[in-house]
A and B are shown apart, each in its own frame.
Chain A
């Protein structure tokens, strides 16, 4: 099933007093510099994309690139200046306050960079908060919250206050809180940026584990390209409010659309990103070795095995059908050849 859950049609967000007027005059041709001279700051510039059900879209960009603004437009924490946003076919911008609250209470969850926990509530109270806001009885909401505590592995700490927890633990609370109402759509705004590298890796793995289990539709904001590659189904790279490229990690690494995107991809170890299917050739009748590899295997994991072979290796899909071949030399050129072209 490939339902569209989030759909944006030329969304603009421009800060400033006469933003609307300026935008109309610009006639869809927004230039950040001219706007800035007139006291307006362009946050999001003509963003159009879709997010499918169960898909994870990672929005990547450096600070000030408008990625958080884009997320806040889609969660309607700020109102977009122009454009249309549809959540499951519903026009988000036409909702009145009450409908918006209903939508947030049932369909959306959000995790914040600085955790944004309520300092006066314990772990379990924080997690139960969205449920209590919904009007669920204290006892039921606490029970549900305890389930979430277990899900994120904080058992035994449910009566701690946020200030008594480490950063990673606090973010676990933030994640649990955003999941408590069992939302369909999950927004994460740089959730791991404030954490130490080791904890960050641990949390990313934990996050992938959760996502495998829950299959939410996700918009994930990050400024860390490696994180984006690791987590994303698709990545949107933003610069100055414009989405420079929106594609799968492999395509971005193999075919960067602009110079800006290229700069990010240069340093990326391809073998860690690309899958066998990204480099395989169409099956022909040449002499194949006995080794078979799965098409969605990351190159790094199978490179050693493939390199022991002299002939091409056959690539198979889940049904054990041969869908292509890979020659060891292709692996070598993928791993070592990437940088040559940019020199």
Chain B
């Protein structure tokens, strides 16, 4: 098991003290990160004591510590999951060979691009959410937002560590560029489009953490299978923290829906009470689910094939041995594709080229589970409304469905139908104005804004009326 050094300027379990050159490089990057955090991190809450979880290790017996901390003083550390010493490559062309502890030359550019693209999303989401604290529906939710933000900051550290350690001068430049690009910046935006929109209300935030962070889960899970061992071990530990982010979103949307159902059960209209009507919430779900599906990339992709063949990205839970052929050489993926005649036909794609689609399948199954969970709760509150996950063809701007129009059920439609109907499927400006009008900050311990039900429990077994944020 690795040794955790919590006393170091940068907490870590990667033996930073023994690598002075790397330590100096990271300690030079650290103040730039803190400056970025203060300038573009959560607005106006940096001086308050917030009850936060901090990663302190990776082994059994607890990996995190809870205490009050001011966010700029958060101990952002570098942690890699422990791994067996004799780990072998378990998929792709090099299956059976030892995993790599250094970057093979032939994969240097591809690995760097994967790490930079993943790393860029981490500070991007912090920037997107920086104003949200001003409208937090409770101290519990304000704490959750801050927890998500500091941990996304730690995930940036994780990727920067890989760049500094394994990619030399290029890696250091990429690490600096992570703090130079900014979400929504006209001249120097974040790499992925979904990370350039401000998230300024809590419906968007909970949808983002449910659907977009979940894309992150699947991307991290595929990298956790990587033959490049430092990347696999880094992302394995990131997944531990990411689970809380997705739970924040899943529970958040569930609590908003429950509150609306409670109001409806009493014979009142959520729209008249400052709560979120369920059809409106469905439109937000449609928007974020479809935008997040775009992040998986093209369903038929030579890039994906090369990343799999090279052993850089595996399928979801590849190492559990659930797939029939770890080399994925002999099979075809049945992909529905639209043709120029306006019909959807089935096409067989060599399985390696369909790796993004296979990963998306696992994501869709996960999202289906979540929607089913929300619907069970609605039923328990005697509410007839049921959410539906939009079909993967709906509202896509990447992949084989981009450029075609589909309804949420996945039926191909013409442009006129889309123009007429899309306001029923995606949030309108009126929806956004209404949701914005509901966003009232509520900072009294144990109290919640009217559009959201309380959670069933607090983090680390705290009571719901716990003072999660101490204002000074």
Q: State whether these chains interact.
A: no
| Chain A residues engaging chain B, CB cutoff 8 angstroms | none
| Chain B residues engaging chain A, CB cutoff 8 angstroms | none
